[in-house]
Chains A and B, each alone.
Chain A
């Protein structure tokens, strides 16, 4: 068997295979529900209801989607340049750490309308610096950024753990490894009074729009795409490939750090070791499902968040383990990658 490229995939081909992929994901989910001795239709219905069945459920889904939009954008921006940033998790924690460092009194002299932008900016800077090391190693010495960014995740997590057990430990925390809570002025407000959705979500949507504009309208976006698609031709044409990679890394790291900052300042109010259930890694799934498109990232982040939130609620109601969410996402991703391949290539025998 071989793959032959399809010159001009038609609309049926471009939409048909992804639709089949979603269908197959549902089939797999049903089989899993059966294996857990539950009614598949009821299980899927409960997931749907839990994710979007009420105002509360929907807002919960959007809340969960917020960090995923940021990390998804971070990954999408980097992957466009074929800069394989697997370290969004570490950059997430860098942003979360800055939120705690600056939001617990260090910048208390600033008025609220300056404090929050200052924190966000500092968080972006920290995330950008987090990715600067790996990208410099890549362009200077050819060190594979997959390895360095991936390993930095564990280093960062252990570093945060050390801080939470030591200097940052909340004295009022009953011995739990968590930080002091943020000052009220350093916290993000709610978009609608009384409902849990915070302004981080709004900022995530704005970020997606900004990334979209950068990619479509600016010379930097053009350079990023050129470097990603053909670095040899880009270099020949005079595009400073290494500089573009560094700029991409700064943007990507900054976006991932906003996720951490928004989780601390918008949702949780303090830093714990379990603040991210792998938002950095899930960002890769989000970006891939979105075909690296910033608009698609918003949609796929909400989709992925919906599956997590829905599965949580379904699990409480139907007794099917929440692991079904992880399996569902993994299946959806695998089928989707296959579907994308099949829209661009056809399988030929012989």
Chain B
């Protein structure tokens, strides 16, 4: 404010924003400035307060203290339209598009008054194609959203923001659903936008992307702004330390000793369910003492494969063999009985029951058999003892076995699930997005446990959207695309870019 010229350059100023939820302080006196033509990265673990901060900026929450200024004008708190009108556009992690409408209609929807939708379409179409050209956002304005790929949908979201004359773009974890190639294209678009004077806030926890795209990095931890550094003056390791507040050591790779095939799929296909892609003639061998990694853009059949191993899905055609022989009916209970340990993708909705205690959650898969139950009678004392043992052994931080599990952080919830799965001594382990949303400490712990299980002779199938994670942990890698499974690649034989080609659907026998 003292210097006139910089004051004009500042497009967004957050001033001592504080937001409390009960005893939790989600944002604690956060201040920063965004300048014209600048990309800043907002880095932080899940629960660090990134989303809360953005919700305050967009008027979904009212800050308890502090102010937001856009282009020098204070934003009225708690008015969701104000930020949009002031030229701030947001691209959410989960898209907000209507599947059954065209690209153009989606861009106009909520932008233009309804009565104008029919009129002025020519002008709107010109504006959209101009924007698309200027920013390298290639997409057919008449295509239905439902027929677009995830990367294309994201372009529509960005176009929508630009169409509304956004001068500040906020992207929330934009690369989570993209292939490496699509990510590169996105970064080119962002660079074009910056060249035209837009300013960008890039929210992420992927360090290499932060290093690649941003000029400045803001690090949030436990609701506080703990660091603000020029990207050039830092490196991934320092950023990670700032994010966690402690030094971290990733699990060291150890040589695997693959054993017998414990589960094999031969040309297995499954039915498509709703918007979940089914499997198409998948061949897969899971070997003892080996981590098989499954890479791919989410929604390409990983869900179907996970359901199949979990017992929720049965093959429509093809054969599924377990080392122990067949079971009459393939159900979740049969899968558990056959020694398949399942770490589900969504620990909140599938893995646990929020209002159940830790004890009740810990015995979900074992409650039918002694010692937990005899002849239909629950032995809650035994269940609680077992839960205490899991809490101890897997370092679950919680008030006690009787606490409701929804009070736990994602990491501790996942540790309880790990305990539930590993204590049953599974021979095959399905780990579906086992570290998604966990903080780095918990990530390391979970990954160590998976490697330890492998070394103890389990066959592990690791499904992850995070290619880096797959590359770091897997002894062999498959790529999934549109329900098809690539051949097996041994560790280190494929670069990320080469895997990206498979992720985009090329290289398969039936590729067009």
Contacts and interface: CB of A to CB of B under 8 A. Distances in A.
A111 to B, nearest CB: 32
Interface string A198-237: 0000000000000000000111111001100110111111
B376 A236 contact: no
B353 A218 contact: no
B22 A7 contact: yes
Contacts of A226: 353, 356, 360, 364
A4 interface: yes
B350 A219 contact: no
A236 B310 contact: yes
Contacts of B355: 229
A219 B353 contact: no
Interface in A157-174: none
A238 B421 CA distance: 13
A330 interface: no
A272 B356 CA distance: 45
A6 interface: yes
Contacts of B344: 236
Interface in B1-59: 21-23
Contact of B378 (A6, A8, A222, A237): A222
A277 interface: no
Contact of A217 (B332, B352, B378): B378
Contacts, number: 75
B376 A219 contact: yes
Contacts of A350: 61-62, 77-78
Interface string B315-337: 00000000000000001110110
B360 A238 contact: no
A230 B349 contact: yes
Nearest to A223: B367
B353 A229 contact: yes
B376 A220 contact: yes
A236 B350 contact: yes
B312 interface: yes
B58 to A, nearest CB: 13
Interface in B351-370: 351-356, 360, 364-365, 367-368
Contacts of A230: 349, 352-354
Contacts of A222: 360, 367, 378
Interface string B371-389: 0010011101000000000
Interface string B98-127: 000000000000000000000000000000
A349 to B, nearest CB: 8
A8 B365 CA distance: 28
25 contacts: A4-B21, A6-B22, A7-B23, A8-B407, A217-B380, A218-B376, A218-B377, A219-B378, A222-B360, A225-B356, A229-B353, A229-B355, A229-B356, A230-B354, A235-B312, A235-B332, A236-B310, A236-B312, A236-B332, A236-B342, A236-B350, A238-B331, A238-B333, A238-B335, A350-B62
Interface of B: 21-23, 61-62, 77-78, 310-312, 331-333, 335-336, 342, 344, 349-356, 360, 364-365, 367-368, 373, 376-378, 380, 407
Given A218-B377, A233-B353, 20 more contacts: A6-B22, A8-B407, A217-B378, A219-B376, A219-B378, A222-B378, A226-B356, A229-B353, A230-B352, A230-B354, A234-B364, A236-B344, A236-B351, A238-B331, A238-B333, A238-B364, A238-B365, A349-B62, A350-B61, A350-B62
For the complex of A and B, the 8 pairs showing the least CB-CB separation, nearest first, are: A238-B333, A237-B364, A238-B332, A350-B62, A350-B78, A230-B353, A236-B350, A219-B373
